[in-house]
Amino acid sequence: TPSAVQKIKQLLKDKPEHVSVKVGVRTRGCNGLSYTLEYTKSKGESDEVVVQDGVRVFIEKKAQLTLLGTEMDYVENKLTSEFVFNNPNIKGTCGCGKAL
């Protein structure tokens, strides 16, 4: 989303040694996956590259099918500010809030 693009631009501006952020997934919770987001200095050999409005995001190979069709947003309110992944492929969440 435009909000996520602006936030990534802002974050990378403060870290000139990094060229992008990398999105991945990790097994977490009782049965689900959680998304990871980290700075990266280079593209991994099997990373997928997504470019949106001048911002490059790398996606780890093992996350590519999981993230297919997912929208990445950045949301701020009075209590939190966070990247949110709106994934149409999720069938539900477990009690701890992790994607199934």
Task: State pLDDT tens for residues 29-88.
Answer: 666 778 899 999 999 999 999 999 999 999 999 899 888 899 999 999 999 999 999 888
SS3 39: strand
Q: Is residue 99 part of a domain?
A: no
Q: CATH number of the domain that 70 lies in?
A: 2.60.300.12
* pTM for this entry: 0.80
For position 76, what pLDDT does the model report?
A: 94
Q: Is residue 73 part of a domain?
A: yes
Domain assignment of residue 66, given as a range? 2-86
Q: What is the DSSP string of 83-99?
A: EEEE-TT---B-TT--B
d(CA 20, CA 93): 29
SS3 100: coil
SS3 45: coil
pLDDT at 96 over 80: no
Task: Tell me whether strands 32-40 and 48-52 are parallel, antiparallel or unpaired.
Answer: unpaired
Query: How far, in whole angstroms, is CA 1 from its chain's centroid?
Result: 12
Domain count for the chain: 1
d(CA 66, CA 18): 25
Look at 90 and 4; give whichever has higher pLDDT. 4
Q: Is residue 51 part of a domain?
A: yes
For position 29, what pLDDT does the model report?
A: 66
d(CA 60, CA 45): 9
Q: Is residue 92 part of a domain?
A: no
Q: Is residue 96 part of a domain?
A: no
For position 34, what pLDDT does the model report?
A: 84
For position 100, what pLDDT does the model report?
A: 47
